[in-house]
Amino acid sequence: MQDRHIVIIGQGYVGLPLAVAASQSGRSVFGVDLDKARVDGLNAGVSPVGDVSDADLREQVEAGRYSASTDFDCVADADVVVLCVPTPYHNDAPDLSNIQNAAREAGKHLTPGTLVILESTTYPGTTEEVLLPILEEASGLTGGEDLQVAFSPERIDPGNPTYGLHNTPKIVGGLTPEATERAQAFYGGFVETVIPVSGPKSAEMSKLLENTFRHINIALVNELAVLCRDLDVDVWEVIDAAASKPFGFMPFYPGPGVGGHCIPVDPMYLSWRVKQFGGAAKFIDLARDVNAGMPLYVVTRVQDLLNDRERSLKGSKILILGVAYKPNISDMRESPALPLIDLLRRKGAHVSYADPYVPVLRAEDGHVLAAQDAITGATAADCVVIVTAHAEVDHVTVTSRARLVFDTRNVLPADGERVYRL
């Protein structure tokens, strides 16, 4: 194994699973993170990420194969440096400051022959046009000669019990054939399948295609859910019926919006990039509008259901059941529960929530809410809105205590009297 000393910058949902997997393959791994409290916890064998157990992390720490630091000095000894830093989308534009800062700091310590891999999701061209120039300026090295650079999109799906880092194919695209081969060999030590592509742009674009595909199809079924409501058709029945076709159809399901860092954000990178060249991404922008409008649609449905019972939304007690962006994890990034809570509060509703994975949340207006007991909250509520269907929540028992339930996730059968679905 040629590349044995690894530095992974960013020890969150992407970087930490990668670091542990690399160290389990026998490599020496340093995890760099600017959060000192997180670094102290990592070195004590405490994982902040649900997909990495404390036991697995502690095993690597105690074996001396993994350690964490806030210092970039360890880059000087690295054969491979991987950047796994956040790439948020702010003010209708990509925010690449974390990539730029990490590249600048790492570049100061790079030595000839190092392979640098970017995993952070971004628009096509970032590796060559943003990352490479910073690395070259900071290090004095030349890309493609004494410095190898590649892109490999992260494909972590938090909480997925079937597909993890080991058995999800890894795409790699280097600036040179040598960079691609080295990246392929690096990931091949702990990933079952590694797929090389012609270069970084193709690798960057592949990640955006994956999540743009999902983003647009979710928007389609969200719009279909609204149409089916107007047509007095059960959208869930329709989707299940269509899914019986063994070819040419892939089921997607409606909901109160889309969440996570990937689906709501990645397509916007592509849309922004296209607009830099005077183009337009019409499907992407329309899908964003449809999905972003779902929290308001949920509020409207809840308001109508309360009106049918001669109650005003203003002053009503609403329990949000599940606030994480997807089931069985604590991740709140871009969760549709946040705009939903904000809209309800602005209309005068008294909002509480129950979620076994999220003990405290900060609403969009800065208001801090603490999780309620699900059964107690449901008993007191005028309406329970199921937003995230965690497996460990007994939805039947919890909602049996409720006066009214609006289910956005098809957890319960609709009865037309007390339980209603999206």
What are the residue boundaries of the structural domains of the chain, listed by start?
Answer: 5-198, 207-290, 293-421
Quick check: 222 pLDDT over 50? yes
The CATH topology of domain 293-421 is Rossmann fold (3.40.50)
Report the alpha-carbon distance of residue 327 to residue 150 in Å, rounded. Answer: 33
Res 1: pLDDT = 47
pLDDT over 90 for what percent of the chain? 90
Q: Look-up: residue for tokens 């409720």?
A: 402
Least confident of 7-16, 213-222, 263-272, 288-297: 263-272
Quick check: 378 pLDDT over 70? yes
Domains 5-198 and 293-421 belong to one CATH topology: yes
With CA atoms as reference, report the closest residue to 114 among 4, 276, 226, 245: 4
Mean pLDDT of 300-306: 97
Res 264: pLDDT = 87
Q: How many CA atoms lie within 13 A of 298 on its CB side?
A: 34
Mean pLDDT of 95-115: 96
DSSP state of 72: G
CATH homologous superfamily, domain 207-290:
N-(1-d-carboxylethyl)-l-norvaline Dehydrogenase; domain 2 (1.10.1040.10)
Mean pLDDT of 134-148: 95
Mean pLDDT of 394-401: 94
Write the class of the CATH domain 5-198.
Answer: alpha beta
C-alpha angle with apex 347: 343 to 351, nearest 5 degrees? 70
> Per residue in 380-392, pLDDT tens?
999 999 999 999 9
Report the alpha-carbon distance of residue 350 to residue 347 in Å, rounded. Answer: 9
Mean pLDDT of 252-258: 96
415 Cβ contact list (under 8 Å, min separation 6): none
- Cβ-contact 17, 156 below 8 angstroms: yes
Quick check: 356 pLDDT over 60? yes
Write out the catalytic residue numbers: 262
How far out from the chain centre does Cα 157 lie? Answer: 7
Quick check: 396 pLDDT over 60? yes
Mean pLDDT of 189-211: 97
Report the alpha-carbon distance of residue 75 to residue 171 in Å, rounded. Answer: 24
Backbone angles phi, psi at 173, to 5 degrees: -145, 115
Report the alpha-carbon distance of residue 166 to residue 191 in Å, rounded. Answer: 4
